Structure 1
């Protein structure tokens, strides 16, 4: 409880204010991307490719249209990908000699304040992206309006679950190539093979346990069952437990790593 209280301390909000001030210069472009991306993906995949999938039966979709199947996974995966990029590159740059983290650490802000303020910013960005994505999806009839209040928190939880370990790792990095390698060899495979675009049952059977163990699959499956109304209490608890544990473990590790790198 004490850690939670400190996470919302006044110094942490000052750090949040810094990132919001920076965001004032780019918010228009980011909102356009948040609207255009789902429009393009849902039109090309949900309506274009989906027409072929639905026509051929789509037995793996259990009676749902491909558009309805695609939307929750695409939402969760897109928010995850965006959050990783925002929690990796800026953090690594922030701890360099002239980075903003170094400047903040020379003030009364503690390393934990810097982390918590930046985490609040990532969370707000995830809320905005997830909300815009689902609102655009309503134009396609891909999700019921009544399910948006449940679907958006799922996407935000996934974002936090990836943001904290990403920050814990990237605060120790020194080269952009390390971030690029992580994105290329970890984030993109997760994006492609965690049930986002097709059921994992279509993968070779020996890969099923690997997919089930990935954090993005838990987020995708939780979002999909919520959106389609097929969620079960046991399955929901398992997904939530996995994602919350990942977020908390990442936060604790990030607090330690921030303290080691930013202690002055």
Structure 2
């Protein structure tokens, strides 16, 4: 079975069996009918994915890998904050009439900063360091910029990535302040696994580990029966995901440069209620 399935099942069981119920507390999210969206939560969840062994897509249900990568490229490559540059509609609820989500996500990665080596944005700084000073312990991004929070339509959830080279392996830590486990967990894991694949290829390394740190990992009250059914399903081997070896520039990647083979999954779950 996919090791990502093992991690996902163990995490969900731990949240349901040992988590803290927020029912009755003052919570921000609401369901479409206006009622408060309560959760069962665990603090400080850490999952490790060995990208040298497999691509960490769960098989309990299908993760739309190329759609997830499209969103990742929207943020990291296009550095966009406008949903009109995105092929999916997952951000529509947070966009204004012009399609903007404010000074969030891709906007922050596109802001240029002054370094000793010159003006660079955060993505270009990562690539520069991985090529010129790969064993640095200072290769990281951060899009949780307090001075701009008031102009963001949604505060960043996955907000920081730290890259670390060990031997010939490129590793990364993804820090996330909050996560809707059913709706977004494997989506984010797939995205940042793909990012490590791409960064490793263009800087001359092999993919290593992705460590996912979630401060508040939660399952919404209306998601619990869905999750319980999901984690009871059979699992299958992880898919084989390969990258077009001819691409040497991070800004040249497209979703079509990812080849996905042998992805067998359980049935998709449709119409998951989303708290906003």
Under a length normalisation based on structure 1, what TM-score does the superposition of the two structures give? 0.29
